[in-house]
Structures are given as C-alpha cells and as structure tokens.
A and B are shown apart, each in its own frame.
Chain A
Amino acid sequence: MKAKKIAAGMVALLAMSGLAQAQISDSVVKIGVLTDLSGQYSDLAGHGSVLATKMAIEDFVAAEKPAFKIEMVTADHLNKADIASAKAREWFEREGVDTVSDVVTTPVALAVMKVAKDKNRLVLGTAPAASSITNENCNDVTIHYGYDTYALANGTAKAVTQQGGKSWFFLTADYAFGHTVEKDASAVVTAQGGKVLGNARHPFPGSDFSSFLLKAQASGAQVIGLANAGADMANSIKQAAEFGITPTQSLAGLLIFISDVHSLGLKNTQGMYLTTGFYWDRNDETRAWSKRFFEQQKKMPTMIHAAQYSAVYQYLKAVKATGTDDTQKVMAQMKKTPINDFFAWGGKIRDDGRMVHDMYLVQVKKPSESKYPWDYYTIKATIPGDEAFQSLADSRCPLIKK
C-alpha cells in the first residue's frame, strides 16, 4: 500500500511539474536583443543594450530566484527593416524567442511590430523614436518604453520658447524622423506664442551643413532647432560654432544622447538644452547602476541602455508573477504593474503601449563647470510623465476607445 501511495504521489508530482513546465514554452524564457551593432546607432544602443540586458537577467536571477531558465540572443539588424523582420520571424518560429527588445530606428521597429503581431509575441521598444509607434501604428503586443519624439520636442521646445527663444528656424533631416520631430516641435513653439520662421531640409545623411546654417543665420531666428540626429546633428553643431552662428543664435537639439555630447565635447555643446529620460548622475541609484555599466562598457549609459535594463527586468517580473510567457497574459500583468526602479519612478504602461515616466530637461555644462569625467548635465526641470508624453485623449491609437 505504501509503495502505491508513493507511486501515486510521484505521478501527481510529475504531472504538476509537467503542468508548470507547459506554462513556459520550451521551459525557457528567451529574450532577443535586436539592435544596431555596427552602424550609426551602435554607440547609443548596440552593445550597450546587450550589456544592459545581460545585467537585467543576472540581477533578476540573483534577486528573484526564478524557477525558469532565461536566455538571451542578439543580432545586428544593420538598420534595415527587411533584415530585422526576417530575423524576428526566424527567432519567433525556430528559436522560441518570447520577446524582441531594443529595435532601434523607427522603420525597424515598425517592421518587427508587424511580425510580432502575427506571431503574438512581445516587442519591448526601448530605442526607436517616432511617436507614431503608439499612435497610428500601435498594437497590443508592443510597449514603447524609453522615450519618443513627442516627449523630446515637447520638453526642449517648450523650455526654450518659455525662456525667450520666440523665433525658430529648423534644420531638418529630410526623412520621416526629421519631419516628425520638426512637426512636433513646431506645434509646441506656436502653442507657446513663438514663431517658426522657416526650415532647411538637408539630405540624410549629410556632412557639410554650412550652406543650410548660413540660411538659418540669414533668417534671423533666435533659435535654430536641430531636427536631426547622430552624426548629422554633431556636424551641424560643430559647424554652427565655426561660422560664428552660436552664440549669437542658440541651438536646440531635439534628439541628443549623452554619447553625442561625449563625442562632441563640452566646448561645442555647452549651454544647449535637451530632453532626456535618464541621466546617470541624477541620484545615488542611477549612479550605482551606471557605474556598474561603466565598468564593463567603459562608457556611461544612454537613456536607451537604462530603459533596456528596466524593460527587461519588468518583463521578467511579469513572467514570474503570471507563471507564463504567454504574451497577452504577460502584457496585461505589465500594464497593471507600476514601474519603480532607478530608470523610472512611478512609471506606468498605458493601453496604447506607451510607458509613461518623468523626463528631464537638462542643460549641457560649460567645460569649467564639469568636475569629473562624464559630468555633463545640469538638470533644469523634471517634466512629470503625464505632461511630457502625449495624453491618451489625443492618442490616434486604434486600441483606445473613445
């Protein structure tokens, strides 16, 4: 009899463990980091995003001791939408990847979101910029985590206009991203009682911006809004200084990462206002994490890297809480869990997929004010999440019922 009882117990146990295993497909939670490992965004996302993911997984395992295994796979999408969607499909179909994260550059993100929707897997968009991801292009498997063009334009353009920069001229990269930023920022400037005097749309990518800058100078605008990014933005700033445009007219960068400030140097960027979702030197918590990141990467994290860590950690927490890697269940859990970590305090994921959190308006320090390496920003204002991001009422996302 005793043997029978033990056998019965064992069967029950086996069945239970089998059940538990069935909840997590292949008994592994697999996170795919799909990013730009070699191209023009490889400094602000790229290897740093891979490291941030690794740190999140390690910290999660140490703190939460989950019963499931976690794996990470990475790939370089070369900033090409077709390569990205092919890779995402392969990951979902053959490698059992549960979520794709980072997806820097908007076209890449949009392509991956489509595949993920087909396959019902999660996208953690920590790096793409366009606010359309949670507007007309939104879907129920995507979370837009770090920042977006609306928040950036809103933060910087509003602050600069309020401080007296009433007339603007835009230097705009001639593709979807540039146009979106220019549009978002123009709306803010006009709403604040400012005026947009004109724009110059430069080919993307470009290298010499002197002709456009001279045009901006001739416009007499107080502020030249830089609706471009990366190397284009860096060269515009450098050449504006060269032609004596700054400091007579001031520049407002609409998408600037700390990696850009680092590579340009404070001499070229001093005094500029910009909006960011993260600054490493903000408080003890951000410093502690950033220093760990720095030890391995030899660079301070950008807001994308911090967002990547936070998003992956939140995701894993939701998997543990629900005991499954089923996309819709995890998504529902993530949407109802407030986010409180070094990246976002009081953050929340809305129904349109937008993760709403505080943003920071910062001013770049003068070389004389910078006391130690990477001491670059003075935080001028904290913009509360609900003010920083587009309101749900204005959302064009079909998921939002009005």
Chain B
Amino acid sequence: MEILGMPTAVLASQLLVGLINGSFYAVLSLGLAIIFGLLNIINFAHGAMYMMGAFVAWIALTKFGISYWGALVIAPVLVGAFGVAIERILLRRLYKLDHLYGLLLTFGLALIVEGVFRDQFGISGQSYEVPEALAGGIPLGFMFLPTYRAWVVVAALTVCFGTWFMIEKTKLGAYLRAGTENPQIVQALGINVPVLITLTYGFGVALAAFAGVLAAPVFQVSPVMGSNLLIVVFAVVVIGGMGSILGSIFTGLGLGVIEGLTKVVYPEGSSIVVFVVMVIVLFIRPAGLFGRS
C-alpha cells in the first residue's frame, strides 16, 4: 500500500522520526515561550543554553564520571543557575526598555558563550554515548526504533505537559501569570514578584539545558549545535503563538513531523518548509495558531 507515493512502512518510520525531532523542538520552544510569555524577553541565548546543557553532561561524564542520569538533573540545575545569574545581573535592567534590547543582549551573550566553548573544546564536537540502559533498539517491523529515541519522546512529552500543568493549573502558576499581568497588585498582595520572575527565567533556561542533555547522545556535542537549531525553534514559537505554552508543544511536534515528511518527498525543501508554514500561518492567523490577539 502506498500513501503520498511511498510505502506505508516508509511513511510510518518517517512519521516516527519526525515526532522524535518534534519533541526536541517542543522542549526548546516551550522554554522560549515561557520566557517570552512571562518576561517579554526574546531569549536569543536559548540555543547557547541548550549547548551548555549538552556540554555539562559531557564534562560530567568524562571528567567526573557522572552518568547520564545524573547529568539529567545536574545540567538543568547548573545551567539554570547560570540563567538566574544572568537575569539578576543583566536582564533585570532591561524590562522597562524596548524588546529589542533584551534580544540584543541575549544575542551577544550567545555569541560570547559559543566563543568560549569553541575556544576550549574546538569545533569538531565531542562524542557522548547512549547510556547502557537505553542502548539497542526495538524492531517494529517497519523500522528499527532506537530505544534511546523512544525515551527522548517520552521524557520530552512528560516534561512539556508537566510544565503546562504547573503554569496553567497550580497556584504557583496562577501567581506567575498574575505577576506578569499586573506586578503592582500582585506585589501588594505580598508576593515577591522579582523572585518569581528570576525563577521563571532560570526554569526556562533549565528546560533548554534538559533538551541539551537529551540531545547529547544523538548529536555530536559541539559549540554550534544550539545556533543550528535556534532559528527553527523560533519559527515554532511564532507559529504556535508567541508565549503560548500549549501552542509551542503542539507546533513543535507537528513541525517535526512535517519536516520529516518533507525530507522524504522533497529533501531540498526540508530546510525551509518550517518557514513556509510560518508564512502561511501568519497570513491566516497573525497571532499564531494558539496566540491570543
């Protein structure tokens, strides 16, 4: 049987591969969406933070013998702490200014971080092995599914929906949303809004680092791994609706699948298909698929 000119087996395997990539997009764009939605900062340093997450995992393993599972906790905490420091020292001063200043600052920051890593580790990248418990794969009949990739989808989706739940359904999330909507009133109610904002930025950054650890066994751990991905992730956020959490999760997954299918049908177009989708969506719904205009 053939669909879209290819055997169902090929189609199924490409859908699965797309879903896997989409889950990376989802975690990364989720962090960006939270930071933009709640802080109004366009975080161009997100790719660099993702790369730092992968490098922390690699350093933890090679220098300190800390396993992948340890890195999944340590990397987000360390990189998140770095994010907190950035917010306290630099970003805090920009909230009253135009968005553009935040963008420029984080962009510059990304260049510096990448430069430092390039200088220290070279450009070719480092190899990070798949943890033993997740090595090998499952023959599905139509394809061979690496266990690790299956784990990536599960871990990414769990984190995404956990975050959504926390922000939309819990009291802490309610404070957060209220604090960004009207800081004065929330402050008057006795809630420390600046701390809330700092933690939000730290959390968004930690999500990027988490994605970095997930990516380390799949891609070469390299100083440029973040900048390669960042543009696509930004497109995901725009398509999903700037700042919309559910939007970024669903769009991330969806675009992964669309991109994967394009790679089979028309490989040359796979690097731009995301942007074509972006143009179409913005024509029809200028605020993005899930955006509130």
Contacts and interface: CB of A to CB of B under 8 A. Distances in A.
Interface of A: 38-44, 174, 200-203, 205-208, 210-212, 214-215, 218, 230-231, 234-235, 238-239, 242-244, 259-260, 262-265, 267-268
B137 interface: yes
29 contacts: A40-B123, A42-B122, A43-B122, A43-B124, A44-B124, A202-B263, A206-B271, A207-B219, A211-B14, A211-B18, A214-B10, A215-B10, A218-B10, A231-B124, A231-B125, A231-B220, A231-B222, A238-B127, A238-B218, A242-B130, A242-B137, A243-B143, A244-B137, A244-B144, A259-B124, A262-B124, A263-B126, A263-B127, A263-B220
Interface of B: 10, 13-14, 17-18, 20-21, 115, 118, 122-127, 129-130, 137, 143-144, 146, 148-149, 218-220, 222, 224-225, 228-229, 260, 263-264, 267-268, 270-271
Contacts of B126: 263
Contact of B271 (A43, A203, A215): A203
Contact of A234 (B13, B20, B220, B260): B220
Nearest to B124: A263
A28 to B, nearest CB: 31
Contacts of B115: 38
A246 to B, nearest CB: 12
Contacts of B219: 207-208, 235, 238
Nearest to A203: B271
A217 to B, nearest CB: 8
A262 B220 CA distance: 12
B233 to A, nearest CB: 12
Q: Which of A42, A208, A235 has the most CB of B within 10 A?
A: A208
B263 A211 contact: yes
Given A207-B225, A210-B20, A239-B218, 11 more contacts: A41-B123, A201-B268, A207-B228, A211-B264, A214-B10, A231-B125, A234-B125, A234-B220, A244-B144, A259-B124, A262-B124
Nearest to B256: A208
A210 B17 contact: yes
Given A203-B270, A235-B219, A243-B144, A212 B263 contact: yes
A260 B124 contact: yes
Contacts of A230: 124
A107 to B, nearest CB: 18
Nearest to B136: A244
Contacts of A201: 267-268
B225 A214 contact: no
A211 B16 CA distance: 10
B123 A203 contact: no
B267 A212 contact: yes
Contacts of B260: 211
A242 B149 contact: yes
Q: Which of A205, A234, A242, A264 has the most CB of B within 10 A?
A: A242
Nearest to B130: A242
A242 B146 contact: yes
Q: Which of A200, A235, A238 has the most CB of B within 10 A?
A: A238
A259 B122 CA distance: 10
Contacts of B263: 202, 211-212
A208 B220 contact: no
B220 A264 contact: yes
A369 to B, nearest CB: 18
Nearest to A38: B118
Contacts of B146: 242-244
Contacts of B127: 238, 263-265, 267-268
B163 to A, nearest CB: 24
B18 to A, nearest CB: 8
Contact of B17 (A205, A211, A244): A211
Contacts of B130: 242
Nearest to A232: B220
